[in-house]
């Protein structure tokens, strides 16, 4: 059992202002695996006081001090790797291979990237007679989700720490234990008192108090567009900086070439990863109308190789995170059938033999039109929609016909054509043939958010620019 019924404030574990223990479920077994305390505005106030006090000195810490701390955290991540992976698997259902691989790997990768960038980051630049100084924003409130919990903690905490900010983290109450272990790593690494604080809880109890707090200078939020809108509205009266990474309905344009079937298969399997619970998942696959039947066959064969099951076994994917999430996905699968899409693989209900746990059949719809609900709404499960296009101009039109703009993909053998097409996509990321880079900017257009994370772009998000004129 995981028992984390205290908060980490001002360098120590402390009891909540009002004890309020809440259970946390394992989505594979539907059993309680531990408890956390739910915080309140009073707990947020305590954390803000600690962070504000720590900022007085941490903002002036040297590059070498920050590098030393990040390297100590890096060593701590490797030391606790198995504990982190087990927590992620237990709380959100990721297979152990995924938890110990990409989930913990992204945490370690962002730490290594932050060290590399901090070694050469330009905190001052003289432009003629003016000195431009890049200073920390101040106290940052961080609200992170359950689907890639360690990744989202890492791409906020490490650049904020490296640029001299102090912070309060509220992880998802659905998957909180990896954050608690991360906090133990931070403490062991010697993070100064008040620089990093952890307050568990839900949105109404802690998130609202953070986003509206007058002494929090910035909110960095990752989650649903609905919640992001509420956070931005609540933050507006205090005129704090708000950075958001929100929902997505990402297109994957498959080019008409000799690698078509292979591209469809890879796109299908890739979209199903993490049980489809990835904001950048290429959940709308666009294929030429003339090759729709070929796409159906390739996608069906690929989906049948995606095996849901026990995260501790050899399954390809685990359950989705909760009963509420399962119910939502089932409703959207039913909607796809009702609106006339062709069910190619999967469908409603649980996979055979998996009555316990929030498991979803790997599902593929084809002959989808972009006005259907499954093409418009973010499903956040292992459900792929295949749409047809006439030509590449039509494909780009369909790809951009969404309220989201987080990510997109183009797959095919003509690299120059893919490059030209990428320039026409209105999204924060375009992956050509699975291209990936830890230093690439991460963030969205339209209702997918504002601001950028990852690499140097993440550092830029957590600094203010001061112009000292007449400096020369």
Catalytic residue set: 245, 279
Q: Measure Cα distances from 456 to 65, 165, 267, 307 in Å.
A: 19, 16, 29, 38
List strands edge to edge, sheet with 21-26: 2-4, 31-37, 21-26
Please tell me the distance from the alpha carbon of residue 409 to that of residue 134, in angstroms, as a whole number: 34
* SS3 assignment, position 389: strand
Partner residues linked to 244 by β-bridges: 221, 450
Give residues with Cβ within 8 angstroms of 130, minimum separation 6.
467, 468, 469, 470, 471, 472
* DSSP H/E element including 186: helix 177-189
Element (H, E) at 333: helix 323-338
Q: How many CB atoms lie within 10 A of CB 369?
A: 14
**What are the backbone dihedrals phi and psi of residue 452, each rounded to the nearest 5 degrees, phi first?**
-135, 145
Alpha-carbon distance values, 432 to 257, 285, 376 (Å) = 15, 14, 23
């Amino acid at each position: 059992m995981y028992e984390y019924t205290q908060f980490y404030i001002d360098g120590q574990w402390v009891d909540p202002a009002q004890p309020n223990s809440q259970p946390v479920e394992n989505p594979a077994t539907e059993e309680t695996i531990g408890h956390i305390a739910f915080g309140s505005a009073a707990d947020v106030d305590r954390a803000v006081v600690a962070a504000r006090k720590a900022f007085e000195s941490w903002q002036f810490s040297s590059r070498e001090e920050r590098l030393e701390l990040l390297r100590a955290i890096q060593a701590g991540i490797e030391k606790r790797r198995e504990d982190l992976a087990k927590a992620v698997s237990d709380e959100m259902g990721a297979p152990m291979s995924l938890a110990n691989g990409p989930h913990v790997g992204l945490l370690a990768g962002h730490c290594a990237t932050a060290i590399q960038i901090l070694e050469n980051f330009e905190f001052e630049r003289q432009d003629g007679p003016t000195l431009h100084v890049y200073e920390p924003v101040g106290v940052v409130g961080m609200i992170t989700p359950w689907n890639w919990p360690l990744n989202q903690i890492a791409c906020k905490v490490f650049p904020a720490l490296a640029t001299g900010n102090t912070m309060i983290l509220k992880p998802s109450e659905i998957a909180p234990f990896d954050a608690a272990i991360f906090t133990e790593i931070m403490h062991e690494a010697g993070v100064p008192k008040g620089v990093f604080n952890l307050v568990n809880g839900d949105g109404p109890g802690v998130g609202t108090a953070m986003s509206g707090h007058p002494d929090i200078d910035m909110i960095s939020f990752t989650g649903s567009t609905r919640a992001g809108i509420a956070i931005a509205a609540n933050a507006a009266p205090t005129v704090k900086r708000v950075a958001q990474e929100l929902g997505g309905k990402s297109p994957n344009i498959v080019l008409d070439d000799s690698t078509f079937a292979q591209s469809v298969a890879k796109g299908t399997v890739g979209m199903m990863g993490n049980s489809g619970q990835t904001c950048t998942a290429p959940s709308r696959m666009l294929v030429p109308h003339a090759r729709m039947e070929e796409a159906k066959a390739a996608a069906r064969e690929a989906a049948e190789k995606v095996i849901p099951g026990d995260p501790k076994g050899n399954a390809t994917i685990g359950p989705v995170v909760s009963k509420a999430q399962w119910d939502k996905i089932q409703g959207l699968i039913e909607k796809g059938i009702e609106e006339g899409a062709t069910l190619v693989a999967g469908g409603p209900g649980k996979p055979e033999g998996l009555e316990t746990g929030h498991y979803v059949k790997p599902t593929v719809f084809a002959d989808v039109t972009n006005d259907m609900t499954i093409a418009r709404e973010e499903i956040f499960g292992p459900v792929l929609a295949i749409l047809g296009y006439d030509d590449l101009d039509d494909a780009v039109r369909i790809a951009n016909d969404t309220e989201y703009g987080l990510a997109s993909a183009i797959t095919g053998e003509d690299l120059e054509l893919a490059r030209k097409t990428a320039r026409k996509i209105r999204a924060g990321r375009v992956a050509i043939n699975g291209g990936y880079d830890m230093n690439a900017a991460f963030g969205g257009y339209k209702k997918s958010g504002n601001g950028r994370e990852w690499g140097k772009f993440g550092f830029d998000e957590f600094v203010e620019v001061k112009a000292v004129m007449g400096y020369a």
